Structures are given as structure tokens and as C-alpha cells.
């Protein structure tokens, strides 16, 4: 093959070396506009997985690199004048200049044609004269820009400012310096990369950057390679204590804002994107060079394994895209955490450290316990102490007081529509469904959305509370939960609004009824999506009637014995659609600014709160973002949550979306938790209200991690409880917890131990295990430079 590579960074060079090894007959040319010894930045970090892939693909290069790595396992977190160390993480780093030198030598030794100081020819010309063209020309890829219609890039420029610097202070471990200044919070990400230097990245929010006066210089006017020396000098002063008399080094150092690069396609014809040209991930998870070299490995392997180029490029993208998107989700969570760092600096130090370590959701409590059990024990103890608990148990099994309601643990069975009622009456199905989840150990079991009127149903199968017969049916279920379990049961009340009169879920989600349909209403005459019914805009008289329906249903719920009431203001149903500018285009006092859009939902809340027993909590579920342009964002969610808390809500149940068919959710594990985190820190915790996190929380480890980091007070799980009605009890067994927070029903207690799955007669290496248990070096490895001893005078 004739292969053209645009860009002589680590990804392009490594791909060139791999292809020449696979077939020396390949003619591989690399164009790089910079000189061979030009490199910007200081150190690069690798994971053990990446190093393993490099070793398998190119043992000679892996050996050369390995000899030069700085290695360590510790993270030092500096907060409010104290340092906290967490071990067991595992890092390897080396200088970027050294990495490029080794890659250049490897390529030259294999016969790659390296053309430094030479801009690449026109891409169309390269595509015509070569079998394959690889665009490895970085985050600001000119090739990608030229073929934007084919690759369809999306660039997300973030808020924080950062500057990439170095220092001759050789750190012993990864460093997070969190510095409170007169202008606000700044932080440093630092790590060693050699015997003589460390990377020193300064990051701060834009408002802090402006208050500190860093916006006065025209960094944009600096030519490539020239550093913003006034800013560098200012940083030397701000971080003089952290630098401890050592030099701060600049190398093309200027203020930047991070841009996350995504592309709908990574290849077009015989042109393919690689590394930062295809995707970027925030530096706080150290993945740029790692991802580029992993791309190179995958692309080379796919070209070798597939007989034709289109098949190879399709396989490359199919293999790498899920990995990259997963990394980008983790990086997004990490960068957003640092953007909001100021929210967390007042946390108790151990909780803050745990919060920082688990920010990307890739490290969890159980994972951390494997890495550094002593620190994990400190996290659990600090949480128990903060709760005033008598003993240290898994966080999910610490009790919680919601208003005046005592919950035995922090697990909630999330509301889930079952579409299985007849004329709004819950039957045996609902008794078994809710009763079994209550017997399964959850502290709080929520009903599905119980509709306040026949016209307020989503489907003909939805439950209701508009008749005394429905009240009696619900009383039967509530009585069972109270008599046979120690769980509490909550009622979710709602009105379908413009999303009503649709078929059962398994007959066609959101599809209008073919017959027997009813009129739907909304804040404005706007349908939920294509094919949905156009709602009638509600009048003031409609609002009065609907408010009365809510209060009548609440009274019936109280009579039925429910312990808690949740007002459903999420997922695009009536009250939620009033809150969203995508559904509410009214020009009266109930539309326009957020204050007006809140008016009717708050009227309903106040009316329901007035009739709901004062000793029973009332909470609200909201959609914290519409996941669509011009819709509500997390900033609106803070205002919405604050308004409900000020009106007396005991908790905010934080969900997202389902307000418009045009939504584009950023799905992922615990993907809605950051919204709960923000509302808890900015609103709820200050007012004494609780926050419930919900959404793709799949494991007890996720629940514990969310609670220990202070991101929520309770965790609601839906599909997880469909998969396993006894999920909470099983979680207790897997964590060896026995106690009142996971009390097995008497007839079930014989099964309270996790069944054995296998046995082995192998002799365990007990003495070596014992030594490892007491060997702190197994957890805490610090980088010690290998310097030559000073000559004797």
C-alpha cells in the first residue's frame, strides 16, 4: 500500500511504524509541518491497558519506552492547607519530546519516509495518489475542516481556562492542588514524567480568570511557539508555595479553552481520521496520546485483517467508536466536575477527595477499596460520622430521615408505568409488583404515575385516583406493604397533558390511540412530536379544574395510607410541559420567563401541600434538562428546584428529558446524577431538603459511590428492580451486610446468604498474602528519580 499520513505526532508515527512492521513493502510517508524537535507540552501519561497493547504489537518499541517511564501509584490531594494521599492507582509517564524521539527513531529504522518541516500536499491530491490517507493532524485538523461535510464534526468548547506548563520540581506522585485565592478557586494538575521535570497544568473558571486579571493580555495574538510570559510570571507568584522555589517552565504556554471534538463519521473513501482529529477527551483523565496510539493499533490491525479497504475502515470505526465514546463520557463528567469545583471545596476533606477520585464515574467505591482499602475505610467512616450513625455500614444501608418519615435505607424503587390497570383501578398485578419490591428490601417503593382524571391518563392502562373504588384498591396495596414489610410506599401524582391518549407501551410508545381516544391538553397547542395529537391550550378554568383534581386525588392518597407524595413535574407531562419553553409558548402570565412558566406547577404544588398531611413528606420530580436546543438546561433546573424547595418540597427527584421527541440525551452510566449533584449543592443541602438521583444507576457500587461523594441523599432504581425484585436484599448479601436496613421477611431468611457458586481445594498462598496485606508499598508507590550521586569534592 501507498500510505500518506498527515501529522507527525505520536498517533501518526506509531501507525507508520506498525504498518511497516506488518509489511515492509508498504510505502509510508509522514508529513509534519513542524521540525522534528518541535513539541509543545511536557509529559504524557499511559494506562496499563495501553502499555499492554503496545508491548504485544511492538515489543522493541515497548522496551525502549518502558525503560524511560516514571512510575507511581499515589495521588496527593492538597486542600485547605492539608495533603491527603490515596494509593493503588497506577500511572506511567514520560516526556512528550522523548516519546516523539523514540517513535521517530523507530520509524526511520523501519524505513518510513519522514518529512518534517513540510506541510502536507492537498488532501484530494494525496487521496488520488495513495491507497490510504490518514489524518492525524490534531484537534485543529485542517484535513477534517476541509472535509467537514463528509465527517460532520461537532465541536464543544468549554468554559474553563487552562495553561500547560512544566516545572523542574519532580513530583513523587500525581498532584491535585486546590487553591483558594482572593479571586476564586484555582487548581493544578501535576505529575512527574522524568528524573528532571513534571507537568504543571493550571486550570480555573473563566470568571476567576477574569477577576485575577489574566484577561488583559492578548494571548490570541501570540504567534505559534511563543508563550504568554506575563501570565506565566503571574502564575509563578500565585503558586509560589506549591513550586517551593523551583522554576516554572513555559513551552508555547498560553491560555486555552478545551474543545471536545466529535465526528459523525471517521472515514470517507480512502481518507480516515485518527487521534485528536477524530475525537478529543479532556486532559483531566489523561487520555489524548493514549487514545491516539490505541487508534493506531486498531487501524493497523483492521487493515491487516480485512481484504478490502472499505471493510477495514468500517471495522476500525466500529471497534474504536464505542471505546472512544465511553472515554469521552468519562472525560465529560470529569471536565464538568472541574468546571464546578467551587461547589465542592467546602466538603469535608475525605469526602472531597473521594468525590474528586470518582468524578468520571470510572472509579467507584468498590474499585477504590481494591486499590487502597485503608482510604476506603476512611471514606466510609467519615460518611457514617456525618450521618451521626452508630456504626459504619455500606452507605446505602445508612438510614435516612425525609421530612418526618424514617427510611431504613437509601434505596428507592423508582416510579415505573406498568400500563396494566382497568379503568384506573390497580389490581392483583400491582399488588404483586409493588409488594414484591417492598419485600425485596428497598427503603421506599414508589407507585407509577397515578393519574388525577380519566383525561389525565397516558394510556387506557394507567392507574388513577379519581374514584373511591380506586382509593380502596390502593389502600389494599399500601396495607400489604405496611403489614408485611418495613418499607415505606409513596404515591406519584400526575397528569399526562399533551402526552395522553396513547397506546400501551408494547403496542407503540407515544402512538395515538386508534379508537377510544380523548382530548389532550397542554400549555400551548404544540404536539409532543410528529404524529402526536395537537393539544388544546388550557384555559384558566381548565387550570382551576385540574388543580381541584390534583387535590382530590391527594386526599384519596392520604386516606389510602401512602407515606409520601411525589408531584410529577418531569418527562413532558402536563406540569413538566408548563416548565419547558419547548412546550410552553404562552404569552400570558403562565408563559415566557421561567418565573411565569413555574406559576401553574407551583399553584398545583401549594394546593396539594395544603391538603396533604403535614407530617408526611411531599417531594417533586423534575426534568433537569430537555436535552434539546432552546430547552431547559441545568441552570434552569437549579431555579426550578429552588422554587419548589422554597414552597416546601422536602426533596427533589432529579430526572431529565422526555419533553420533546427531538431530544438528544447523553446516555451513560449514572448519566443523570451530575444534575442531582448540582441541585443538591446549590439548592437542596442549603435549605435542608433532600435530593434523589435516578437514571442508569445499575449496581450497589454505583449507589454507594453516589452517596459517599455527596451527589445525592437517596438513589432511585427502576429497571434494576424489574430485573431483580429482591435487588436490595441481594446487594446486602453481596456486601456481607446484616442489619435492620436489609431485613429479610421471616419466610425468606433461610435464603439470606449468597448461594455458593463453586469451590476449590487449591492451597492459598497465605504467607505471601499476609505479607502483601501489611506491605504498604503494594498500595503506595512513589516516583523516585534515578539521579547519579553527586561527586565527592
Class of residue 530 by CB neighbours under 10 A (exposed 0-12, middle 13-18, buried 19+): exposed
Cell numbers for 656: 431529565
Q: How far apart are CA 482 and CA 190, in angstroms?
A: 55
Closest among 297, 207, 202 to 254, alpha carbons compared: 202
Helix (H) or strand (E) segment spanning residue 145:
helix 142-146
Is there a contact between 411 and 443 (Cβ–Cβ < 8 Å)? yes
Which residues form the catalytic set? 573
Is residue 190 a contact partner of residue 42, using CB atoms and an 8 Å limit?
A: no
The whole-angstrom separation of Cα 520 and Cα 487 is 36
Cα distances from 610 to residues 558, 603, 648, in angstroms, run 12, 11, 10
φ, ψ dihedrals at 136, nearest 5°: -120, 40
Distance CA 618, CA 650 (A): 6
Report the residue count for the chain.
Answer: 793
Q: Which of 552, 688, 677 is nearest to 611 (CA)?
A: 552
Cα separation of 266 and 554, whole Å? 54
Integer Cα distance of 424 and 451 in angstroms: 8
SS3 710: coil
Residue matched to cell numbers 468520571: 360
- CA dist 507 and 502 (Å) reads 9
CA distances for 466 relative to 389, 454, 568, 593, angstroms: 42, 8, 16, 33
CA-CA distances (angstroms) from residue 717 to 132, 227, 414, 679?
48, 50, 5, 19
Of the candidates 239, 300, 321, the one whose C-alpha atom is nearest the C-alpha of residue 21 is: 300
Residues 6 or more apart whose CB falls under 8 angstroms from that of 237 comprise none
Question: Distance between CA atoms of 357 and 85, rounded to whole angstroms?
Answer: 11
Instruction: With residue 491 as reference, give the H or E element that holds it.
Output: strand 488-494
- Residue at grid coordinates 507540552: 41
Angle between the N-to-C axes of helices 59-66 and 48-57, in degrees from 0 to 180, rounded to the nearest 10? 140
* Residues 46 and 93: beta-carbon distance below 8 Å: yes
Q: Is the dihedral of CA 600, 662, 656, 471 positive or negative?
A: positive
Sign of the four-CA dihedral 319, 323, 324, 326: positive
For the chain, the first-to-last Cα distance in angstroms comes to 60
* 584 contacts 597 by C-beta, under 8 angstroms: yes
Lookup: cell for 518: 380523548
Amino acid at each position: 500500500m501507498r500510505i500518506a499520513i498527515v501529522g507527525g505526532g505520536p498517533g501518526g508515527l506509531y501507525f507508520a511504524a506498525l504498518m511497516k512492521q506488518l509489511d515492509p513493502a508498504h510505502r509510508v510517508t509522514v508529513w509534519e509541518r513542524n521540525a522534528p524537535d518541535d513539541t509543545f507540552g511536557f509529559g504524557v501519561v499511559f494506562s496499563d491497558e495501553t502499555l499492554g497493547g503496545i508491548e504485544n504489537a511492538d515489543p522493541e518499541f515497548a522496551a525502549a519506552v518502558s525503560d524511560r517511564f516514571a512510575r507511581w501509584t499515589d495521588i496527593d490531594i492538597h486542600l485547605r492547607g492539608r495533603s491527603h494521599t490515596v494509593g493503588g492507582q497506577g500511572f506511567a509517564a514520560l516526556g512528550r519530546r522523548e516519546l516523539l524521539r523514540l517513535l521517530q527513531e523507530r520509524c526511520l529504522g523501519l524505513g518510513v519516509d519522514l518529512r518534517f518541516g513540510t506541510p502536507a500536499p492537498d488532501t484530494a491530491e494525496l487521496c488520488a495518489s495513495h491507497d490510504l490517507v490518514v489524518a492525524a493532524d490534531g484537534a485543529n485538523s485542517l484535513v477534517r475542516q476541509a472535509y467537514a461535510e463528509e465527517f460532520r464534526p461537532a465541536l464543544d468548547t468549554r468554559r474553563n481556562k487552562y495553561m500547560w506548563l512544566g516545572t523542574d520540581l519532580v513530583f513523587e506522585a500525581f498532584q491535585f492542588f486546590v487553591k483558594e485565592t482572593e479571586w476564586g478557586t484555582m487548581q493544578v494538575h501535576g505529575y512527574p514524567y522524568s528524573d528532571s521535570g513534571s507537568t504543571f497544568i493550571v486550570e480555573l473558571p473563566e470568571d476567576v480568570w477574569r477577576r485575577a486579571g489574566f484577561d488583559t493580555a492578548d494571548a490570541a495574538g501570540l504567534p505559534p511557539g511563543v508563550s504568554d510570559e506575563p501570565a506565566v510570571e503571574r502564575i509563578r507568584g500565585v503558586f509560589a508555595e506549591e513550586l517551593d522555589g523551583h522554576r516554572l517552565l513555559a513551552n508555547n504556554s498560553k491560555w486555552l479553552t478545551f474543545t471536545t471534538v466529535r465526528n459523525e463519521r471517521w472515514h470517507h473513501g480512502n481518507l480516515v481520521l485518527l487521534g485528536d482529529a477524530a475525537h478529543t477527551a479532556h486532559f483531566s483523565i489523561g487520555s489524548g496520546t493514549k487514545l491516539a496510539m490505541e487508534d493506531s493499533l486498531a487501524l493497523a490491525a483492521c487493515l491487516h485483517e480485512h481484504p478490502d479497504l472499505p471493510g477495514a475502515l468500517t471495522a476500525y470505526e466500529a471497534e474504536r467508536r464505542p471505546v472512544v465514546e465511553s472515554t469521552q463520557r468519562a472525560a465529560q463528567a470529569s471536565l464538568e466536575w472541574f468546571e464546578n469545583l467551587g461547589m465542592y471545596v467546602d466538603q469535608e476533606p475525605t469526602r472531597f477527595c473521594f468525590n474528586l477520585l470518582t468524578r468520571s464515574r470510572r472509579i467507584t467505591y468498590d474499585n477504590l477499596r481494591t486499590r487502597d482499602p485503608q482510604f476506603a475505610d476512611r471514606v466510609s467512616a467519615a460518611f457514617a460520622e456525618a450521618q451521626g450513625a452508630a456504626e459504619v455500614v455500606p452507605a446505602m444501608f445508612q438510614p435516612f430521615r425525609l421530612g418526618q418519615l424514617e427510611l431504613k435505607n437509601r434505596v428507592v424503587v423508582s416510579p415505573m408505568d406498568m400500563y396494566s390497570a382497568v379503568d384506573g383501578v390497580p389490581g392483583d398485578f400491582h399488588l404483586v409488583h409493588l409488594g414484591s419490591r417492598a419485600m425485596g428490601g428497598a427503603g421506599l417503593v414508589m407507585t407509577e404515575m397515578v393519574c388525577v382524571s380519566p383525561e389525565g391518563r397516558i394510556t387506557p392502562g394507567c392507574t388513577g385516583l379519581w374514584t373511591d373504588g380506586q382509593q380502596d384498591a390502593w389502600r389494599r396495596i399500601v396495607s400489604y406493604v405496611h403489614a408485611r414489610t418495613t418499607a415505606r410506599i409513596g404515591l406519584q401524582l400526575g397528569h399526562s397533558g399533551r402526552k395522553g391518549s396513547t397506546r400501551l407501551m408494547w403496542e407503540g410508545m407515544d402512538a395515538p390511540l386508534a379508537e377510544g381516544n380523548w382530548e389532550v391538553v397542554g400549555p400551548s397547542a404544540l404536539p409532543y412530536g410528529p404524529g402526536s395529537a395537537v393539544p388544546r391550550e388550557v384555559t384558566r378554568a381548565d387550570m382551576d379544574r385540574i388543580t381541584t383534581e390534583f387535590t382530590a386525588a391527594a386526599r384519596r392518597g392520604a386516606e389510602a395510607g401512602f407515606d409520601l407524595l411525589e408531584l410529577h413535574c418531569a418527562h413532558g407531562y402536563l406540569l413538566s410541559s408548563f416548565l419547558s419553553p419547548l412546550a410552553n409558548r404562552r404569552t400570558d402570565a403562565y408563559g415566557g420567563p421561567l418565573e411565569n412558566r413555574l406559576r401553574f406547577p407551583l399553584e398545583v404544588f401549594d394546593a396539594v401541600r395544603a391538603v396533604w398531611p403535614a407530617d408526611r413528606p411531599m417531594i417533586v420530580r423534575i426534568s433537569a434538562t430537555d436535552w434539546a436546543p432552546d430547552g431547559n438546561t441545568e441552570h434552569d433546573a437549579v431555579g426550578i428546584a429552588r422554587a419548589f424547595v422554597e414552597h416546601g418540597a422536602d426533596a427533589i427527584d432529579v430526572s431529565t428529558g422526555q419533553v420533546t421527541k427531538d431530544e438528544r440525551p447523553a446516555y451513560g452510566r449514572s448519566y443523570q446524577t451530575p444534575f442531582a449533584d448540582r441541585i443538591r449543592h446549590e439548592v437542596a443541602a442549603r435549605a435542608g431538603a433532600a435530593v434523589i438521583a435516578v437514571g442508569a444507576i445499575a449496581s450497589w457500587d454505583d449507589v454507594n459511590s453516589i452517596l459517599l461523594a455527596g451527589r445525592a441523599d437517596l438513589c432511585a432504581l427502576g429497571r434494576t428492580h424489574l430485573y431483580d425484585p429482591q435487588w436490595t436484599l441481594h446487594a446486602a448479601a453481596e456486601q456481607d451486610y446484616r442489619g435492620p436496613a436489609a431485613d429479610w421477611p421471616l419466610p425468606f431468611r433461610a435464603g439470606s446468604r449468597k448461594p455458593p457458586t463453586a469451590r476449590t481445594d487449591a492451597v492459598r498462598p497465605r504467607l505471601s498474602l499476609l505479607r502483601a496485606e501489611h506491605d504498604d508499598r503494594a498500595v503506595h508507590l512513589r516516583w523516585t528519580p534515578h539521579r547519579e550521586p553527586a561527586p565527592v569534592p
